[in-house]
Structure 1
Amino acid sequence: MPDTLVLIFFVALFAALLTYLVPVGSFDTQTVTFMQDGVEKSREVVNPDSFRYALDDEGEPRLAPVEPFDASGKGFFNYMFEGLVSGDKWGSAIGVIMFMLVIGGSFGIVMATGTIDNGILRLIHHTQGREFLFIPVLFALFSLGGAVFGMGEEAIAFAIIIYPLMLRLGYDGITTVMVTYVATQVGFGASWMNPFSVAIAQGIAGIPVMSGAAVRIPMWVGFTLLGIAFTLHYARKVKRSPELSYSFATDAQLKHAADKADESSTSPGASRFNLGDMLVLAAITATMGWVIWGVVVKHWFIPEIASQFFTMGLVVGVIGVVFKLNGLTANGMAKAFKDGAATMLEPCLLVGSAAGILILLGKGGPTEPSVLNSILSAAGGFIGGLPDALSAWFMLLFQSVFNFFVTSGSGQAALTMPLMAPLADIVGVSRQVAVLAFQLGDGFTNVLVPTSASLMATLGVCRVEFSAWLKFIWRFMLLIMAAASVMVIGAHYLGFS
């Protein structure tokens, strides 16, 4: 299979070819207001009746083909650089890239103390015969995080710690991605209260925010159990026959290092676990709890979270120097930070490349002519001509496909729900079902699309090639999308409103 960067290059090439075939169009925007937690909020969304193609001098829909190079940065061969520097500190790509470098360096210091390795060995020793419990417990917790506060990027930091644990337990990098990032997106998609998707989509659709929880909470339980069952089935197979792992080759180097650590654990002092180690674990645990509190209560995002992990790295480094953990020194701290950040180079390149694809298609927003806007309008017109139940299912399919272009839950809601909500009225589908189709399509395909910065970053820290991930994840995607289809169509026929 081709390298991940090769795959992304050909996706970028396909995106560029679309600009030679699809005319560009734009929308006007309008302000909608909605109530959330007793507070009136407003949001700029597209006006579904305002779409128009940009016209050439002859009055025909105009194409805006991507040139090989462009001084404005939208040329095909500009996509890598422009993708790397796109966005701001609050999101993809530059914000996510800097976030990854900072947490990579911080956890590099943590790993340099040796506390994690020694702690994992002790944990395995005390859980002999009960290791399988880690998978359902972790999956459920991360799914809950995705459902309650839209956890996504935060999974990257957790994956750094959980990955070596999974390898020691006989599992692999793919299992780690499943119990961290994939679990968050299962919860994100099936949520009853996600502030970044369900709340915004319901507000735009003009239905009570956070309504429908009596249906969505059992739905979240069902999809979470489905994810746990699938992950357990795969993990047990890998534990019995490691060569069946889809990430067997890329896991080999870290497994070899772990095996050497296990061999050396019989030497005097190798099973070290002293006050310094306990303080390191306390600092990590306190940081994780502090970050979760900040995200839920203070609505922290990438800059604040990165700062907390950087502080954690400094605190852990000082503890390591004071207690001479693995002979750590101040210079050793600096080297460990640089080495940890260096491991993030590959996933950073993947994040930037994926962001560059969206620039090729036009990332200027709904009011600027782009191929993205034309695709959105055409899909709305097609769905409007279908029977009601089929329209509901095609809403799910459209949201799933459109998520390739706009992976942000709130961004996709702002673009698509002003079209899908009135369209639902026309074809006889309730707006609640339209929101359901949006959240399931938006959340679940985040585990597949290479334009998802968080997915590519988590795959990177777990050393899973995107090609290997595709060979594994397609079965889960078929399973979960089949269940989502049954949910949307069933909700329509049962009158979910």
Structure 2
Amino acid sequence: MKKKKFEFPSAFTVLVIILILAAALTYLIPSGRFSKLTYSKESNEFIITDENEKVTAQPATQEVLDNLNIHLSINKFTEEVIKKPMAIPGTYKRIPQNPQGIVEIIKSPVAGVADSVDIVIFVLILGGVIGIINKMGAFDAGIAALSKKTKGKEFILVTLIFLLITLGGTTFGMSEETIAFYPILMPIFLASGFDAMTCIAAISLGSTIGTMFSTVNPFSTVIASNAAGISFTEGLTFRIVCLILASIITIVYIYRYTLKVKKDRTKSIVYDQEAEIREKFLGQFEKSLKTEFTMRKKICLTIFGIAFPIMIWGVSTQGWWFGEMSSLFLAVGIIIMFLSGLPEKKSINAFINGAAELIGVALIVGLARAVNIIMDNGFISDTLLYYSSQLVANMSHTAFALFQFGIFSVLGFFIQSSSGLAVLSMPIMAPLADTAGVSREIIINAYNWGQGLMSFITPTGMVLVFLEMAEVTFDKWLKFVLPLFGMIAAFSAIMLVINTMM
């Protein structure tokens, strides 16, 4: 009898396993909480919530902050620079264990989808718009025209996409927004001769490197600097240098991979899936080579393309989030419906079928959020932060910096929100830099680089979402990215050591 070949489990199964492991941790790691401080603009008071959810109010004054050992200017709160609950140093308390059992595990995916409904709606609307454009054949005709023009200069496309997304990541934290790029760029990359992994790498690694080596990202570097009591401009030049060097390392890594695959197609990590991936994204490509790229198709693609710079403008300058982004693409979808030339029923069905194609992606988003809900409800994140802060006392400069890097890598797995981790950890960790005799900018860099490093591989982040869009399994991504993960980890450690000597 022929032995059945092992197949790596799907993204759903991977997340369910992680969900169970996260629940198990709530039995093993003690539950505990810091008291949290928030500012109420309406009453001009500080609202303090202790470990038992008891709420008290104190006047919003500098004296109160000083008494609480929060060494920040009152303006950071009154001007709403810091909006999220801030951990109060020295207030950690153990609380009764709150383990998450089988009932909580079963309920958490439902809560996860409900908590991520804004992202889910965005994914489904995007899928619907793409469904209409695919139905009218605009994508295939456009890709065919583009592939003729980029002949011999294909890697410029990879570099351009990587650099643009890296720029978005380092300036305004472009991450979840990149979901929109995968179904658009995958056919273009495949038609240009690259494999699916190259497309995933250009988009995902651009976002990861950009957000990891953030320069002026308000959701990480700026808010962390404010919470640490320093200006985000401190160390900015050094961070820019690190961003450039890390980008070069990553581009060279992707380039070497593409050369290897070009020389021998069987070296592609997704070689065994190549036929089905090409069928999914380029099913009508051969036919499209003979299809006219009509003015109607050009107009529809142009309108769709314009939505992306508008989205980036809205997120980076107007405070947009998924509600506004979903509305933008819904409006674009309605316009394209009218211009497509398709009968009303066919265009509606195309929208519905396109949305149905991304149902799996939407559910992955909710399941990933379920893992975070389990850990939050188990109250173990504050405990990890408390014990981590105890470990770094009385260390040398270099050991302190490297240990902080390791700590934030671990915390980054448990606390996915960059701004949430910043306001929770900085009041605790930043004063430790003073006792260790190093600049607080070291803490900011360790936080950015530690949390960012985990974005390469953390299944509870965006990794499984974009892999599901490309129908690539997690083990193949790990095979591709782990060597680069090691390089960037070593690079970050070296730069942190250099940072302590400056």
TM range (shorter): 0.7 to 0.9
- Answering whether residue 326 of structure 2 is matched by residue 316 of structure 1, we say no
Divergent runs of 4+, >4 A: 31-36, 257-260
Task: Flag the 1:33–1:181 CA change in 2: closer, same or farther, 3 A.
Answer: farther
Instruction: Give the CA deviation at 1:200.
Output: 0.2
Could you tell me which amino acid in structure 1 is paired with residue 416 of structure 2?
T
Q: How far apart, in 1, do the equivalents of 2:23 and 2:80 lie?
A: 41
Which residue pairs with 1:59 in the alignment? none
DSSP-derived class of the 2:187 partner: helix
From 105, 115, 124, the equivalent of 1:76 is: 105
Which residue pairs with 1:336 in the alignment? 350
Q: Deviations over 1:438-467 (max 9, x none)?
A: 111222322211111x33322222222223
Instruction: Give the CA deviation at 1:276.
Output: 0.6
Which residue pairs with 1:199 in the alignment? 222
Which residue pairs with 2:100 in the alignment? 66
Which residue pairs with 1:345 in the alignment? 359
Could you tell me which amino acid in structure 1 is paired with residue 101 of structure 2?
E
Which residue pairs with 2:319 in the alignment? 299
Which residue pairs with 1:9 in the alignment? 16
Which residue pairs with 1:49 in the alignment? 90
**8 A contact 1:35–1:209 mirrored in 2:** no
Choose 188-197 or 351-360, whichever is displaced more.
351-360
Q: How far apart, in 2, do the equivalents of 1:425 and 1:258 lie?
A: 54
Q: How far apart, in 1, do the equivalents of 2:465 and 2:414 lie?
A: 18
Which residue pairs with 1:324 in the alignment? none
Q: How far apart, in 2, do the equivalents of 1:297 and 1:381 lie?
A: 39
Which residue pairs with 1:493 in the alignment? 501
Instruction: Give the CA deviation at 1:4.
Output: 2.2
Q: Deviations over 1:198-237 (max 9, x none)?
A: 0000001011133322211122111111111111111222
**8 A contact 2:175–2:208 mirrored in 1:** yes
DSSP-derived class of the 1:143 partner: helix
Which residue pairs with 1:461 in the alignment? 469
**8 A contact 1:383–1:394 mirrored in 2:** yes
Q: How far apart, in 1, do the equivalents of 2:274 and 2:419 lie?
A: 35
Q: How far apart, in 2, do the equivalents of 1:319 and 1:144 lie?
A: 33
Q: Deviations over 1:298-318 (max 9, x none)?
A: 121111011111111221222
**8 A contact 1:173–1:463 mirrored in 2:** no
- Scaled by the length of structure 2, the TM-score of the pair is 0.87
Q: How far apart, in 2, do the equivalents of 1:19 and 1:262 lie?
A: 50
Which residue pairs with 1:163 in the alignment? 186
Instruction: Give the CA deviation at 1:372.
Output: 1.6
Instruction: Give the CA deviation at 1:335.
Output: 1.5
Which residue pairs with 1:419 in the alignment? 428
Q: How far apart, in 1, do the equivalents of 2:389 and 2:323 lie?
A: 36
Instruction: Give the CA deviation at 1:148.
Output: 1.4
Instruction: Give the CA deviation at 1:264.
Output: 2.6
- Answering whether residue 480 of structure 2 is matched by residue 472 of structure 1, we say yes
RMSD: 2.1
Q: How far apart, in 1, do the equivalents of 2:446 and 2:308 lie?
A: 33
Which residue pairs with 2:236 in the alignment? 213
- Answering whether residue 419 of structure 2 is matched by residue 390 of structure 1, we say no
Q: How far apart, in 1, do the equivalents of 2:113 and 2:266 lie?
A: 35
Task: Flag the 1:30–1:263 CA change in 2: closer, same or farther, 3 A.
Answer: closer
Q: How far apart, in 2, do the equivalents of 1:42 and 1:19 lie?
A: 29
**8 A contact 1:105–1:339 mirrored in 2:** yes
**8 A contact 1:4–1:465 mirrored in 2:** yes
Instruction: Give the CA deviation at 1:2.
Output: 2.4
Percent of pairs identical after alignment? Answer: 29
Could you tell me which amino acid in structure 2 is paired with residue 186 of structure 1?
I
Q: How does 1:278-293 map to 2 (within 5 A)?
A: 278-293=298-313
From 426, 441, 450, the equivalent of 2:450 is: 441
Which residue pairs with 2:197 in the alignment? 174
Q: How far apart, in 2, do the equivalents of 1:330 and 1:12 lie?
A: 43
DSSP-derived class of the 1:404 partner: helix
Q: How many residues align?
A: 460
Q: How far apart, in 2, do the equivalents of 1:258 and 1:354 lie?
A: 25
Task: Flag the 1:35–1:186 CA change in 2: closer, same or farther, 3 A.
Answer: farther
Which residue pairs with 2:168 in the alignment? 145
Could you tell me which amino acid in structure 2 is paired with residue 291 of structure 1?
M
Q: How far apart, in 1, do the equivalents of 2:418 and 2:214 lie?
A: 12
**8 A contact 1:247–1:465 mirrored in 2:** no
**8 A contact 2:35–2:87 mirrored in 1:** yes
Structure 2: gaps of 5 or more residues: 1-7, 39-71
Could you tell me which amino acid in structure 2 is paired with residue 278 of structure 1?
K
Could you tell me which amino acid in structure 1 is paired with residue 251 of structure 2?
I
- Scaled by the length of structure 1, the TM-score of the pair is 0.88
Q: How far apart, in 2, do the equivalents of 1:302 and 1:63 lie?
A: 35
Q: How does 1:74-153 map to 2 (within 5 A)?
A: 75-85=104-114, 87=115, 93-153=116-176
Q: Deviations over 1:153-204 (max 9, x none)?
A: 1111112110111111222222112111220121111121011100000001
Instruction: Give the CA deviation at 1:5.
Output: 2.0
**8 A contact 1:83–1:352 mirrored in 2:** yes
